[in-house]
Structure 1
Amino acid sequence: MQKAYRHSRTTEGLNITEEMLRLHSIARQLGDQISLAKAFVVIAKESNNLQFAWELSAQIRNLQVLLSNAATRQTPLTVEESETAILDMALLLYHAQQLHYDSSTMIMRLKSKIQSLEEQENSIREKSSKYGQIAAEEVPKSLYCLGVRLTIEWFKSSNIQRKLMEAQKLRDNYLSHFVVFSDNILATSVVVNSTALSSNHPDMVVFHLVTDEVNYAPMKAWFSLNDFRGVTVEVQKFEDFIWLNSSYVPVLKQLQDSETQNYYFSGNNDNGRTPIKFRNPKYLSMLNHLRFYIPEVFPALKKVVFLDDDVVVQKDLTQLFSIDLNGNVNGAVETCMETFHRYHKYLNYSHPLIRAHFDPDACGWAFGMNIFDLVEWRKRNVTGIYHYWQEKNLDRTLWKLGTLPPGLLTFYGLTQPLDPRWHILGLGYTNVDPELIENGAVLHFNGNSKPWLKIGIEKYKPLWNKYVDYSHPLLQQCNVH
């Protein structure tokens, strides 16, 4: 009589029919009950109804044991062995409905839980991004030590200061000229060393390095003390460029603007709405923007290869100088094939100036390994184009981040796509196809995880480390490893 009563109440509450108890549907019904009961366990715990959550969990285990036994003996469940468990679970599910654990309540609570978890995830992601950015910007003590020791070497040794280079080579357009703008001595050394070791004729290679006043003496000392297979290395500091002043260079003008300084350096301007990566002061660094002034920096040169300081060269790059750019100024590897980096990813197409002048689906390309025809650059006044867009973006409404967006605007219609094997990107933030790495000419550690930092991606560090002589006395004194 009691079983009949329970069966009647269950049928009334959960609409269980005799059809659902037929032999062929028992396993499916058990599975459905378990799924529903698991959801109710979550809601019961959220409602602090721990006793009911325990009862549901116990009955879930009973049903799972039935299913497991049937699977082990490889015979279907029978009505006789499963009816009691099904009805007991049905009563618990009916009780859950009486507690308003119905589907609408469950959906609302789950949505609330999901929203809470998403907020936690966003908070954790924001903190992770902030700490990762701080770690990426921090100069390791070992590299700071290296700079100090090299500065001492420079000023105490008149022999190093008197070391002469062949000045004629610096202006000889029959040679291969490479340009690097950096304040990182060790990273720049890896670029020069890897290029030298990969070159078929290193004596025909000239490196033009530009740094700041703080790093000028140690940079000069390092490249005077070390030989790179006969590669010629010139070091300059941008403070010596007379033409580099705020009346000519928009970025210097922005640096003097109090609102811009507040935006980049204090972070108090928009109540934290702008992500930290957009507020990095390095994006106003002159070393970062000198790439737009290469003809002014090197007035005697006709063609150069520009390299970022976070690259490794593993093929001979002299062939780049014979590539026909078809009248274009910039030769670069496009990035819109697999990663879909098109113009609309970098620029604000809600702004009428951007909409009117640029195709949102135009293919993006990468800085870091570029061949520049400086004759065409001067002829087309490319630096003037760059100035125009920088002036238009004083309020940061055209783009927010870095030098690539203004580069995309400046070299729009003036860029010749290169074979993708010339420039392999992503080694500083993602997984890269090993075949691409093996066949790539230039490997770019773009991203926060630089190979000289503790946060560098471990599996890619050996690609960079092999170009550092860790037995060098100065590196050992500074514990560079």
Structure 2
Amino acid sequence: MKGGSVNGVGMSTITTTTTTTTKRRWRGFVIAVLGLVFLSMLVPLVFLLGFHNAFHSSLSGSAFPSQQHTLSLDDFTIGAYESHYSNNNTKDQEYVGTQVPERSDHSGIKGSFTKAPVQVLQLKGSPGHPVDVDIQKASSERHNANVNNTVLIQPSNGDESEVPCELRFGSYCLWRREYKEAMIDSMVKKLKDRLFLARAYFPSIAKLPVQDKLSKELRQNIQDFERMLSEATTDADLPPHVEDKLVKMEATIARAKSVPVDCNNVDKKFRQLLDLTEDEANFHTKQSAFLYQLAVQTMPKSLHCLSMRLTVEHFHTSSVDLEDSLTEKFVDPELYHYVIFSNNILASSVAINSTVLHAKESKKLVFHVLTDGQNFYAMKLWFSSNTFKKAAIQVLNIEEYSMISDLSLPEEFRVTFQTAHKLPKMHYKTEYISLFSHSHYFLPEIFKTLDKIVVLDDDVVVQQDLSALWRLNMGKMVNGASEHCAVRLGQLEHYLGRIYFNQNSCAWMSGLNVINLARWRELNLSQKFRRIVQQLNMEGRLHEAAASRASLLTFQDLVYPLDDTWVLSGLGHEYGLDIHSVKDFAVLHYNGNMKPWLELGIPKYRSLWLKFLNREDQFLSDCNVIP
């Protein structure tokens, strides 16, 4: 009994301890869950408050959630840059320079804008002298590789009002004008304006005993307007005969204006009106520009759906890998080899399909699509389940190559020039350049058996047979490209650093490039590119912009200029191109923000892109891709 009693006490103690421990565990779990719920409510609130405050800050502050840099210059702005990853991860950079001569190329494109301001760059110095760059990081950090970092160029006198909308807010301004909708609250806004005027005059009128009748009329009109506006947000919400009330209010305000009063109070009210109106206008403009940038840089839900559906389908099917039977064609130097860097299924498909449909001998065409691991299987299934006449298509996962860490796509580089220093208002023009990225400089190592290739950007449409490119005699040149002589390297000297270069050299463009890989290997240009990148980084240049600078310099004096009729650039940002002359070019390059696979694409150019897309494909229908 005694032993059993002891054992019973022991068991009771153990049970109590276990129960206590269990309760503690559950208490800890409940506290953790409550903490997560609290954080899930707090974080969005903090983000929204921070987002709102960011837009009310000055332009030199953190107006957008990204890094910000500031540089200035006496009498004129010399240079700035930008970098961003757009919706297709295309890196975009900007440089602002001194006045340039009129365009000497034949592309027919006139630059007119830059993108929404996120960074502010000013250069302190004087023309022709080295510039000291002072970089100040904003409190917010780049939270995603796809966040846009753009540039606002401030005029030399610091007056923001002189900066045109296109320069401050970029292609958003062009898009807004193109798709401007009729206001549904114009009368409401007019009523609010008159209400504010009445409130401004009322305190002064109320102090004058001889104006008692006018004071009562003002008070009555103010009350009527407040009652109407408390229930109305659009013109449709307003009561009938609102025009009569407006006329009555305006007549009363006119009488109040004719009364001699102390102007201090009225002046104070009007200054408040001006400040509030400017504040609100700037806030909404910046907010709209930010949302526009977010729209063009974020992968649309439909394209994400397409990639995921194709990836899942790839692992559900046991289809025969057609690439195995085409191995010999992939390494045959006698065929026409095209290389495309892309993570966009639709874009690369249109580039390939348009090339094949215009080719005289499609059986000679071989396409190598270099993509990342995330899109690799989706790409493989798409190109194996769709036919492109007799062309062979190879999809390569660039991450499988040990010397490459990740996929980087062609970079876009914008150059904004001040064209008139001495006029009261500044005038700018913007030119777009697209260049090779880091990944392009592994081409000789990836395609070891080939001596010549043609590199296409995925945002191009081909309108003619390209076989003539394979008959070009480029001599000792390496890169057959379209030159952009509106921008010369000498105008970018502050941007390019202390590396020697020919100042009269024109900038060249990616999009359509004939590459002599044999000559490339002979000159070891890949190593030259990496050496320039390293040197630029040692000079304190930002790493994001190093690739574009190095690309401009790597092929110096090694560019074979293609005929002007080969490529037309600018269909992703220039509204003013003649749609009839567009059809005369062999290749259309949709460089810019307004890519044709986005709803924000320029409508009159989208049709030229859409006709090469099989919109009846089941996967496209299921994901509602470009309905």
TM-score, with normalisation over the residues of structure 1?
Answer: 0.64
- How far did 1:323 drift? 1.1
> Is contact 1:160–1:225 with CA below 8 Å preserved after alignment?
no
Report the 3-state secondary structure (helix = DSSP H, G, I; strand = E; otherwise coil) of the residue aligned with 1:218.
helix
* Closer/same/farther in 2, CA of residues 350 and 406 from structure 1, 3 Å limit: closer
1:309 aligned to 2:458?
yes
> Is contact 2:505–2:557 with CA below 8 Å preserved after alignment?
no
- How far did 1:460 drift? 0.9
Match of 1:408 in 2: 552
Correspondence 1:300-339 to 2 at 5 A: 300-336=449-485
Report the 3-state secondary structure (helix = DSSP H, G, I; strand = E; otherwise coil) of the residue aligned with 2:454.
strand
User: Within 2, Cα distance between the matches of 1:205 and 1:421?
Assistant: 22
User: Within 2, Cα distance between the matches of 1:225 and 1:379?
Assistant: 39
Match of 1:427 among 557, 562, 571: 571
Query: Which letter does structure 1 place at the counterpart of 2:472?
Result: I
User: Within 2, Cα distance between the matches of 1:327 and 1:121?
Assistant: 56
> Is contact 1:427–1:447 with CA below 8 Å preserved after alignment?
yes
What's the CA shift string for 1:324-354, capped at 9, x where partnerless?
2121110111122xxx223356x45277514
Report the 3-state secondary structure (helix = DSSP H, G, I; strand = E; otherwise coil) of the residue aligned with 1:393.
helix
User: Within 2, Cα distance between the matches of 1:198 and 1:404?
Assistant: 32
Match of 1:371 in 2: 514
Higher strand residue share? 2
1:237 aligned to 2:397?
yes
Greater CA drift, 163-172 or 177-186: 163-172
* Closer/same/farther in 2, CA of residues 245 and 156 from structure 1, 3 Å limit: closer
Match of 1:451 in 2: 596
Query: Which letter does structure 1 place at the counterpart of 2:443?
Result: I
What's the CA shift string for 1:219-254, capped at 9, x where partnerless?
0001111110111000110111123359xx9x9xxx
Match of 2:246 in 1: none
* Closer/same/farther in 2, CA of residues 148 and 245 from structure 1, 3 Å limit: closer
User: Within 1, Cα distance between the matches of 2:546 and 2:293?
Assistant: 14
1:469 aligned to 2:614?
yes
Report the 3-state secondary structure (helix = DSSP H, G, I; strand = E; otherwise coil) of the residue aligned with 1:341.
strand
Give the total of aligned pairs: 353
Query: Which letter does structure 2 place at the counterpart of 1:429?
Result: H
Tell me which stretches of 4 or more aligned residues in structure 1 moved more than 4 Å: 119-129
Match of 1:292 among 434, 437, 441: 441
User: Within 1, Cα distance between the matches of 2:546 and 2:459?
Assistant: 16
Match of 1:53 in 2: none
* Closer/same/farther in 2, CA of residues 322 and 124 from structure 1, 3 Å limit: farther
1:150 aligned to 2:295?
no
Match of 1:268 in 2: none
Which structure is higher in RCO with an 8 Å CA cutoff and minimum separation 6? 2
* Closer/same/farther in 2, CA of residues 202 and 398 from structure 1, 3 Å limit: same
Match of 1:349 in 2: 494
Report the 3-state secondary structure (helix = DSSP H, G, I; strand = E; otherwise coil) of the residue aligned with 1:293.
helix
Higher helix residue share? 1
Match of 1:75 in 2: none
Match of 2:528 in 1: 385
What's the CA shift string for 1:402-433, capped at 9, x where partnerless?
85432111111111111122111011111223
- How far did 1:468 drift? 0.8
User: Within 2, Cα distance between the matches of 1:121 and 1:376?
Assistant: 56
Report the 3-state secondary structure (helix = DSSP H, G, I; strand = E; otherwise coil) of the residue aligned with 2:550.
helix
Query: Which letter does structure 2 place at the counterpart of 1:463?
Result: L
Query: Which letter does structure 2 place at the counterpart of 1:174?
Result: E
> Is contact 1:426–1:444 with CA below 8 Å preserved after alignment?
yes
* Closer/same/farther in 2, CA of residues 210 and 124 from structure 1, 3 Å limit: same
User: Within 1, Cα distance between the matches of 2:605 and 2:374?
Assistant: 30
- How far did 1:131 drift? 2.9
| Structure 2 unaligned regions, length at least 5 | 1-196, 203-259, 264-269, 409-433
User: Within 2, Cα distance between the matches of 1:343 and 1:357?
Assistant: 8
Correspondence 1:215-234 to 2 at 5 A: 215-234=375-394
Report the 3-state secondary structure (helix = DSSP H, G, I; strand = E; otherwise coil) of the residue aligned with 1:349.
helix
What's the CA shift string for 1:49-80, capped at 9, x where partnerless?
89xxxxxxxxxxxxxxxxxxxxxxxxxxxxxx
User: Within 2, Cα distance between the matches of 1:473 and 1:384?
Assistant: 45
* Closer/same/farther in 2, CA of residues 245 and 475 from structure 1, 3 Å limit: closer
User: Within 1, Cα distance between the matches of 2:585 and 2:611?
Assistant: 16
* Closer/same/farther in 2, CA of residues 155 and 319 from structure 1, 3 Å limit: same
* Closer/same/farther in 2, CA of residues 314 and 348 from structure 1, 3 Å limit: same
User: Within 1, Cα distance between the matches of 2:605 and 2:556?
Assistant: 33
> Is contact 1:160–1:224 with CA below 8 Å preserved after alignment?
no
- How far did 1:469 drift? 1.0
Match of 2:342 among 182, 203, 206: 182
1:132 aligned to 2:292?
yes
User: Within 1, Cα distance between the matches of 2:280 and 2:478?
Assistant: 47
1:397 aligned to 2:541?
yes
- How far did 1:123 drift? 6.7
> Is contact 1:351–1:398 with CA below 8 Å preserved after alignment?
no
User: Within 2, Cα distance between the matches of 1:318 and 1:467?
Assistant: 19
Match of 2:353 in 1: 193
Query: Which letter does structure 1 place at the counterpart of 2:481?
Result: A
> Is contact 2:496–2:549 with CA below 8 Å preserved after alignment?
no
Query: Which letter does structure 2 place at the counterpart of 1:294?
Result: L
User: Within 2, Cα distance between the matches of 1:426 and 1:367?
Assistant: 12
- How far did 1:124 drift? 6.5
- How far did 1:365 drift? 1.6
Query: Which letter does structure 2 place at the counterpart of 1:168?
Result: E
- How far did 1:435 drift? 4.3
* Closer/same/farther in 2, CA of residues 129 and 177 from structure 1, 3 Å limit: farther
User: Within 1, Cα distance between the matches of 2:511 and 2:398?
Assistant: 19
What's the CA shift string for 1:271-299, capped at 9, x where partnerless?
xxxxxxxxxxxx9xxx9421121111111
> Is contact 2:537–2:543 with CA below 8 Å preserved after alignment?
no
* Closer/same/farther in 2, CA of residues 466 and 352 from structure 1, 3 Å limit: closer
User: Within 2, Cα distance between the matches of 1:456 and 1:325?
Assistant: 36
Report the 3-state secondary structure (helix = DSSP H, G, I; strand = E; otherwise coil) of the residue aligned with 1:158.
coil
User: Within 1, Cα distance between the matches of 2:470 and 2:293?
Assistant: 36
Match of 2:13 in 1: none
* Closer/same/farther in 2, CA of residues 162 and 422 from structure 1, 3 Å limit: closer
> Is contact 2:533–2:546 with CA below 8 Å preserved after alignment?
no
TM-score, with normalisation over the residues of structure 2?
Answer: 0.50
* Closer/same/farther in 2, CA of residues 377 and 124 from structure 1, 3 Å limit: farther
User: What percentage of aligned pairs have identical amino acids?
Assistant: 36
Query: Which letter does structure 2 place at the counterpart of 1:203?
Result: K
> Is contact 1:132–1:448 with CA below 8 Å preserved after alignment?
no
- How far did 1:130 drift? 3.4
* Closer/same/farther in 2, CA of residues 436 and 294 from structure 1, 3 Å limit: farther
User: Within 1, Cα distance between the matches of 2:474 and 2:403?
Assistant: 29
User: Within 1, Cα distance between the matches of 2:439 and 2:607?
Assistant: 30
Match of 2:370 among 172, 192, 210: 210
